[in-house]
Structure formats: structure tokens, C-alpha cells
Structure 1
């Protein structure tokens, strides 16, 4: 019996236009009516995720920021795992001094050090999903997107800690040269700060959170708290920040568009996010568990 469905968003639940694929929404309504609950597990924060879920008529708990925070169905924070203040400050100082573009996430919002860089990052993401579109079309979509206009821009991200007294849950470092630059930076940070966890959700970013703030940790805690058996849950994702939740689930699916290393971890493979891979993974798991 399938007890719980958990899905990543970008590259998974969302289609090439960064909306929930209609077939995915239809399947989730079907399983909801069957009594099988659904959770989103994403690198996004609550406001970023909720806008897209609302658009599709989906209301569910949200594991955000790669597992650093859990929001209930009504947006209340049920728990969070924050970076120590000094660790967060030192990472921000280092990234700023070395010229990286940085974003910091708290329970309240996403904060960016540069709107221009945020637009460039979103343009690249949209272009990867829609290679047939021109750069100009992708940039126009990015400029008008919720992901650009719903976040806050700060000249100094340290003010979040020193002046606003907010807990930093995740820091994202972005670089145009991708993992050939970011992988060495990740190793350098892990050697310097023993209490951090690093991962990536696409080629050009590095995501830094506290140890224990992974999607896998969050899902295990959620299942323990609600009495779900990990062997009877479905998880589906496409990138390396999904690996910890794919490793623990009885029914784990890598998207057809997933990174090769992610496919190696998952038990099964489904279709791409363009072709409603989440809906197809759920249909397959329902058959395997004889739920239908």
C-alpha cells in the first residue's frame, strides 16, 4: 500500500514553462481522493513554491530549502534547521570577497545580492528548459517571473543576521562556469566549516545548509512523526539535492531528465518533466503496490 508521495519541483513536478504539469496535478488529485497524502520537497522557499502550487490547485505541506524547513498546509513553520550565525556570516563574507553572486534564504523569504544576477540565473534556467526560445525571450520571461519579483534584494546580506536577527537556513552560490568552479569551492567550504552540507540543484549553483538539513532528513522526520513506513513511500526527483530522499524510499524514481548520477541512486526511472514524469511514476508505483 502506497502511504505517501513526495516530489521535487524544478525539473520534476514543474514542466518546461515552470508550471505544474496538468497531468501531474490531475494524478495528485486522484491519489488525494484515494487517501494518499502528498508533500513537496524543494530547494525553494515557501512563497516561491506556494505560488506555483496554488496555480495548480495543490495544497500540501512543503519541505523547503532542501530540508532546512517544514511548512504546514497553512504556511506555519513546523521546524527549521539553521546555519550557525558565525558560519553563515563567514560564508557570506567569503563569497562576497571572492566575487560570487549569493542568495540567502530564511523562513520569511529569499534574499538576493543582485537583481541583475537573479534575472541572469532565471534566464539560464528557462533557456535550459526551453532551448528553442531565444535568449531575449527567456530574459523577458525571467524579468516578469514570480521568482524574480517576489524576493527581496539587499546590498549587504549580513544585515539579515546583524540587523534583522533572522536565521539563515540556506545560502546559494552561483557562477556562470558551473561545477568546475563550484565543486572546488564546496570542498574548500567543507574543510573550513565542519557543520555544513553542500549540494546542487542545477549546473550553475552550490547550495549550503547545516548538516541534518537535507531532503532525506526532513522526510524521515516527517514519516516518523506521522507514522509512515519509508518502505511504502514514493519519492521522485531529478538532481543531486534529491539523492538523500531517493536513497531512503521504497519506491524512488529518477526523472528521465535527471542527472546520470541521480538515476544510479533511484530504483526506477520515469519520463521527463516535459511529459508528466511524476504522474507516470505515481501510476507505476500504484500498480507495483497493487493500490489500483
Structure 2
């Protein structure tokens, strides 16, 4: 039997317009009626994720920031895994020294070092999902999107720590030439700070969390605390920050649009995010579970 369904958002639950397709909504509601709960496990923070879920009428727990924070159905933080403050400062210093665009996430919000760079990044994401769309239209959509309008922009992200005393949960670096810039930096960070975990959710970024702040650890912990057998859990994802939760679940699905390294880890493959891949994965998992019980 299936006991729990866990889905990533970008490139997975969300389609090319960064909305949740009706087929995905219907499948989630169907499993709700069967007594099977649904949880989002995303690189997004609470506000970014909740806007999309509210639009779809889905109310569920949100495991955010790559598994480093858990919000219950009412938006209350149940736990968070922070990066050591000095480590976070050191990482931000490296970013400023190199001149990279950065984002820092806390339990309160997502903070960006540049409004313009955030718009550029979301424009590129929209264009990658809609290759036929013009740059001008993609930029207009990006500028008006919740992914831009809900973000807090700061001249110096380090003041979140030094002046406000906030705990940093996730740091993101973005660059147009990641293979020669931020990815080598990510390797440097992993070597210098073994208590960090470095991954990626988009070809132009790297994301840094605490080593214990991964999706796989978060899903495992959630199952332990709620009495679910992880062998009866469905996880669905598309990118490298999803690998850890795909490895631990009994029914793991990679999107057809997933990176090849993600497909290599998942047990099954579903359709693309713009073809309701989450709904397809849910229906397939239910069939597989039924066959297993027969």
C-alpha cells in the first residue's frame, strides 16, 4: 500500500507556466480521499511554495529549502537545520569577493543580493521551460511573478547575520558559466566546510545547506515521526537536489524532463512536468502497490 506521497515543485509538480496542472491536483485529491497524505519537498521557502499550493487549493506540510526546514499545514516551523553562522559568513564573503549573484534563505524569507539578477534568473528559468517564448515575454512574466515579488532584496546579505541575528538555512550562488565558476567554488566549500551539503536545482546554480539539511534526511525523519514505512512512500523529482529523497523511498520517480543522473537513481520514470508527470507517477505507484499486494 502507498502511505505517503512527496513531490518536488519546480520542474516536477509545476508545469512550464510554473503552475500546478489540474491533473496533478485531481490525483492528489484522489489520494487524499484514499487516506494518503501529500507533502511538498522543495528548494523553495514557505511563501514561494504556499502561493502555488494555495492557487491549486492544496493545503499540506511543506518541507522547504532542500529539506532544511519543515512547515506544518498551518505554516508553523516544526524544525529547521541552520548553517553555522561563521560558516555562512565565510561563504557569503567568498561570493562577494568573486562578484557572484547570491541568495540567502532564512525561516522568514528569501533574500536576494540583486533585484535585476533575480529577474534575469527567473527569466532564464521561464525560457528554459518555454523555448518558443521571446525574451521580452519571459522577462515580463518573471517581473510579475511571485518568484520575484515575494523576495526581499538587500545590499549586503551578511547583515542578515551581523545586524539582524538571523539563522541562514540555505545559500544559493548563480552564474552563467557555472562549470568554470560556482561549481568549482562548491567543491571548495565542501572541502573546507564538511558540515555543509552542496547541490544544484538548476543548471546555473549551486545551493549550500547544512549537511543534515537534505531532502532524503527530511523525508526519512518525517516518516519516522509520523509512523510511515518509507518503503511505502512515493517521491517524485527532477534535479540533483532531489537525489537523496529518491534514494530512500520505495517508489521513486524521475520526471521525463529530469537530469540523466536523476533518472539513473530513481526506480521509475514518469512523464514530463508539462504533461502532468506527478499525476502519472501517483497512478503508476498505486498500480505497482496493488500488483505487489496481489
**Which bin holds the TM-score, normalised by the shorter protein?**
over 0.9
Runs of 4+ in 1 over 6 A off after TM superposition: none
Task: Please give the root-mean-square deviation of Cα atoms over the aligned residues, in Å.
Answer: 1.0
Once the two structures are TM-superposed, the CA of residue 183 in structure 1 deviates from its matched residue by 2.0
Counterpart position of 2:193: 193
Matches for 1:1-292 after TM superposition, within 5 Å: 1-290=1-290
CA distance in 2, matches of 1:257, 1:78: 32
Q: Secondary structure at the match of 2:281?
A: helix
Determine helix, strand or coil for the equivalent of 2:43. Answer: coil
Classify the secondary structure of the residue corresponding to 2:79. Answer: strand
How many aligned positions are there?
A: 292
Shift of 1:21: 1.2
| Cα distance, 1:191 vs structure 2 | 1.4
Q: Distance in 2 between matches of 1:174 and 1:183?
A: 10
Shift of 1:178: 2.7
- Alignment deviations for residues 77-109 of structure 1 (CA, whole Å, 9 cap, x no partner): 000000000000010011011110000000000
Give the stretch that moved more between structures: 223-232 or 174-183: 174-183
Deviations 1:157-194 (A, max 9, x none): 01111111110000000001133432211111111112
TM-score (norm 2): 0.98
Question: 1:34-89: CA deviations, max 9, x gaps?
Answer: 10000000000000000000000000000000001000000000000000000000
Secondary structure of the residue aligned to 2:124 is: helix
* Cα distance, 1:277 vs structure 2: 0.5
Separation of aligned partners in 2, 1:121 and 1:207: 14
Contact 1:179 1:205 in 2 (8 A): no
Please say if residues 70 and 80 of structure 1, whose CA atoms lie closer than 8 Å, have aligned partners that are also in contact.
yes
5+ residue gaps, structure 2, are: none
User: Do the aligned residues in 2 keep the contact of 1:179 with 1:203 (CA within 8 Å)?
Assistant: no
SS at match of 2:207: strand
Q: Distance in 2 between matches of 1:86 and 1:22?
A: 45
SS across alignment from 1:74? coil
Q: Unaligned stretches of 5+ in structure 1?
A: none
Equivalent-residue separation in structure 2 for 1:127 and 1:184 (angstroms): 26
Provide the rounded CA distance (Å) in 1 between the counterparts of 2:209 and 2:113. Answer: 18
